[in-house]
């Protein structure tokens, strides 16, 4: 089930060489996924990552996405996570366009702490990104490494407050003390603040975005590009977001 | 961004062709295949794209698709509004793409 090693990524069959910063970022992200987090243990985070991956072959998720209104039922498999957590992971992974404030309120009302929810979002989505890269690239999904032992830090930043999103966030001026490194300088888009109730998920998202797209602080600069031209990059990004029906 | 006219309809699939972007049609077809479920189609579109762009650009395309599959889900799962600065400057683009029809537009006051 789990990979035995975590310091090597398997690019067998890769149709092109992968730049080193991307390899290092993906290695970091896999180790991040398996490490004790802020509210979940390493084993729980690995279970969430597996559930994120497994959601893509879930019959209920397929049925639900194809229906006009959300279908009820049980997700396939026998996961080690509670059913409400599994359902949240599956919805975020397979049908994010239909998430709503009322759905979120229901998840929290069922007893899931909002900090645990934010961390779950981080793990679920980072797994989705790694899997999307592998599928696009034509290689097998990266092996999810075994969990690291240890306890969650349970660090809740005092400066996280309601700011118009469903979840509390840290404003740029509130990123002080242990969170001083969180945003870097310049414009801080809401997408980089979204997970700030769990600062380590912001750090992982920043690293992921820097390697897979461009560094956050360079996003507003239209001259920043990679081997694709910047218009090509934005074209692909916009198409992904259109297919995902994401307004943001 | 480049000073070139970009056909936004190509992003939503309303307009066929490159949309004013070099290899735009191939990039769109590949992206669609990655997010779809037909593995045969994905293999064909991957080869078709690789035939017209460099290996480095192909890696970047795959990485971008990965990045925005993260970002879109984070945005939708946390209910963040579109940043005011971006909102104010994107009305025309949002209208042309019809983005207000997406459920997550409700997270940005006045957008839906």
The shortest C-alpha distance from B16 to chain A (Å) reads: 13
- pLDDT averaged over every residue in chain A: 92
**Phi, psi angles (nearest 5°) of residue A160:** -75, 125
Say if residue A148 is in the same domain as residue A227: no
Q: Is the pLDDT of residue A4 over 60?
A: no
In chain A, which residue's Cα lies nearest the Cα of B76? Answer: A96
**Rounded to an integer, what distance in angstroms lies between the CA atom of residue B63 and that of residue A239?**
14
The DSSP letter of residue A78 is -
Where in the sequence is the domain holding A34, given as residue range(s)?
20-153
Q: Give the residue from A28, A71, A242 showing the smallest Cα distance to B28.
A: A242
The pLDDT score that the predictor gives to residue B111 is 87
Say if residue A134 is in the same domain as residue A242: no
Which of residues A126, A153, A180 is at a domain's end? A153
The DSSP letter of residue B29 is H
Picking from A136, A167, A243, the nearest residue to B78 by CB comes out as A167
Picking from B42, B65, B108, the nearest residue to A247 by CB comes out as B108
Say if residue A121 is in the same domain as residue A232: no
The shortest C-alpha distance from B40 to chain A (Å) reads: 11
Q: Do A232 and B24 touch (CB under 8 A)?
A: yes
Residue A26 within a domain: yes
CATH of the domain at A81: 1.20.1290
The shortest C-alpha distance from A195 to chain B (Å) reads: 8
Q: Say if CB A224 and CB B13 are below 8 A apart.
A: no
Dihedral sign computed on CA atoms, order A103, A164, A173, A189: positive
A1 pLDDT band, cuts 50/70/90, is very low
Q: For residue A158, give Cα distances in angstroms to A86, A118, A170, A235, A240.
A: 29, 15, 9, 39, 35
The pLDDT score that the predictor gives to residue A69 is 67
Residue A8 within a domain: no
Centre a 10 Å sphere on the Cβ of residue A243 and count the other Cβ atoms it contains: 22
Total domain count, chain A: 2
The shortest C-alpha distance from B106 to chain A (Å) reads: 9
Which of residues A109, A134, A153 is at a domain's end? A153
- Which stretch of DSSP H or E encloses residue B49? helix B39-50
Residue A102 within a domain: yes
Say if residue A139 is in the same domain as residue A231: no
End-to-end CA distance of chain A: 35
Residues of chain A found within 8 Å of residue B48, distances taken between Cβ atoms: none
**Rounded to an integer, what distance in angstroms lies between the CA atom of residue A116 and that of residue B17?**
44
Residue A119 within a domain: yes
Which of residues A137, A153, A169 is at a domain's end? A153
Q: Which chain B residues in 27-66 lie under 8 Å from chain A, judged by CB atoms?
A: 27-28, 30-32, 34-35, 42-43, 46, 50, 53-66
Say if residue A236 is in the same domain as residue A145: no
Q: Do A165 and B108 touch (CB under 8 A)?
A: no
B5 pLDDT band, cuts 50/70/90, is low
In chain A, which residue's Cα lies nearest the Cα of B21? Answer: A232
A10 pLDDT band, cuts 50/70/90, is confident
Q: Do A15 and B50 touch (CB under 8 A)?
A: yes
Specify which residues A147 forms β-bridges with: none
Say if residue A148 is in the same domain as residue A48: yes
Question: By three-state DSSP, how is residue A169 classified?
Answer: strand
Say if residue A116 is in the same domain as residue A230: no
Percent residues over pLDDT 70 in chain A: 93
For A127-145, the pLDDT digits (tens) are: 999 999 999 999 999 999 9
The pLDDT score that the predictor gives to residue B3 is 46
**Phi, psi angles (nearest 5°) of residue A170:** -95, 125
Q: Do B82 and A247 touch (CB under 8 A)?
A: yes
The shortest C-alpha distance from A118 to chain B (Å) reads: 8
Residue A201 within a domain: no
Q: Which residues contact A177 (CB under 8 A, 6 or more apart)?
A: none
Residue A197 within a domain: no
Say if residue A126 is in the same domain as residue A234: no
| H helix intervals, A79-227 | 83-94, 101-109, 114-137, 190-193, 199-212
Question: A–B: how many Cβ contacts below 8 A?
Answer: 245
Say if residue A148 is in the same domain as residue A242: no
Residues of chain B found within 8 Å of residue A235, distances taken between Cβ atoms: 6, 10-11, 19, 21, 24, 27-28
For A146-164, the pLDDT digits (tens) are: 999 999 999 999 999 998 9
Q: B97 is written with which tokens?
A: 């793409």
Residue A235 within a domain: yes
The pLDDT score that the predictor gives to residue A78 is 56
**Rounded to an integer, what distance in angstroms lies between the CA atom of residue A49 and that of residue B48?**
32
Q: Say if CB A89 and CB A55 are below 8 A apart.
A: yes
Picking from B31, B42, B46, the nearest residue to A240 by CB comes out as B31
For B24-82, the pLDDT digits (tens) are: 999 999 999 999 999 999 999 999 999 999 999 999 999 999 999 999 999 999 999 99
The pLDDT score that the predictor gives to residue A2 is 46
Say if residue A41 is in the same domain as residue A126: yes
The answer to whether the predicted template modeling score (pTM) of the entire model surpasses 0.90 is: yes
The pLDDT score that the predictor gives to residue A76 is 65
Q: Which residues of A8-44 are buried (b: 16+ CB within 10 A; e: fewer)?
A: ebebeebebebbeebeebbbebbebbbbbbbbbbbeb
Say if residue A32 is in the same domain as residue A127: yes
Q: What angle do CA A134, B67, B104 make, to 5 degrees?
A: 125
Residue A91 within a domain: yes
The shortest C-alpha distance from B112 to chain A (Å) reads: 10
Say if residue A231 is in the same domain as residue A147: no
For A185-229, the pLDDT digits (tens) are: 788 999 999 999 999 999 999 999 999 999 988 888 899 999 999
**Phi, psi angles (nearest 5°) of residue A161:** -140, 160
Q: Do B73 and A193 touch (CB under 8 A)?
A: no
Q: What is the mean pLDDT of residues B2-28?
A: 80
């Amino acid at each position: 089930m789990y990979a035995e090693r975590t310091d090597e990524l398997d690019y067998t069959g890769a149709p092109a060489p992968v730049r080193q910063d991307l390899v290092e970022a993906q290695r970091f992200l896999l180790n991040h996924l398996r490490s004790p987090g802020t509210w979940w243990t390493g084993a729980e985070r690995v279970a969430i990552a597996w559930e994120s991956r497994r959601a893509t072959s879930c019959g209920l998720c397929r049925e639900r996405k194809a229906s006009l209104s959300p279908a009820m039922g049980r997700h396939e498999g026998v996961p080690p996570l509670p059913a409400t957590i599994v359902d949240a992971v599956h919805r975020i992974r397979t049908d994010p366009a239909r998430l709503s404030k009322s759905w979120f309120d229901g998840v929290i009302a069922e007893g899931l702490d909002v900090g645990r929810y934010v961390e779950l979002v981080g793990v679920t989505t980072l797994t989705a990104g790694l899997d999307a890269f592998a599928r696009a690239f034509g290689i097998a999904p990266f092996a999810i490494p075994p969990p690291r032992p240890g306890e969650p830090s349970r660090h809740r930043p005092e400066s996280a407050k309601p700011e118009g999103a469903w979840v509390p966030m840290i404003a740029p001026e509130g990123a002080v003390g242990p969170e001083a490194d969180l945003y870097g300088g310049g414009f801080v888009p809401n997408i980089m603040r979204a997970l700030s109730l769990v600062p380590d998920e912001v750090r992982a998202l920043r690293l992921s975005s820097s390697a897979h797209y461009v560094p956050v602080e360079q996003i507003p600069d239209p001259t920043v590009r990679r081997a694709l031209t910047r218009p090509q990059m934005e074209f692909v990004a916009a198409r992904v977001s259109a297919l995902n029906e994401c307004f943001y | 961004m480049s000073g070139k006219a970009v056909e936004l309809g190509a992003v939503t699939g309303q307009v066929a062709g490159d949309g004013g972007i070099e290899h735009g049609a191939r990039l769109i077809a590949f992206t669609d295949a990655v997010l779809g479920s037909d593995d045969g189609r994905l293999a064909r579109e991957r080869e078709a794209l690789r035939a017209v762009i460099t290996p480095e650009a192909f890696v970047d395309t795959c990485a971008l698709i990965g990045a925005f599959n993260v970002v879109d889900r984070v945005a939708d799962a946390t209910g963040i509004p579109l940043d005011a600065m971006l909102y104010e400057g994107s009305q025309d683009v949002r209208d042309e793409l019809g983005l207000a029809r997406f459920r997550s537009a409700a997270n940005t006051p006045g957008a839906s």
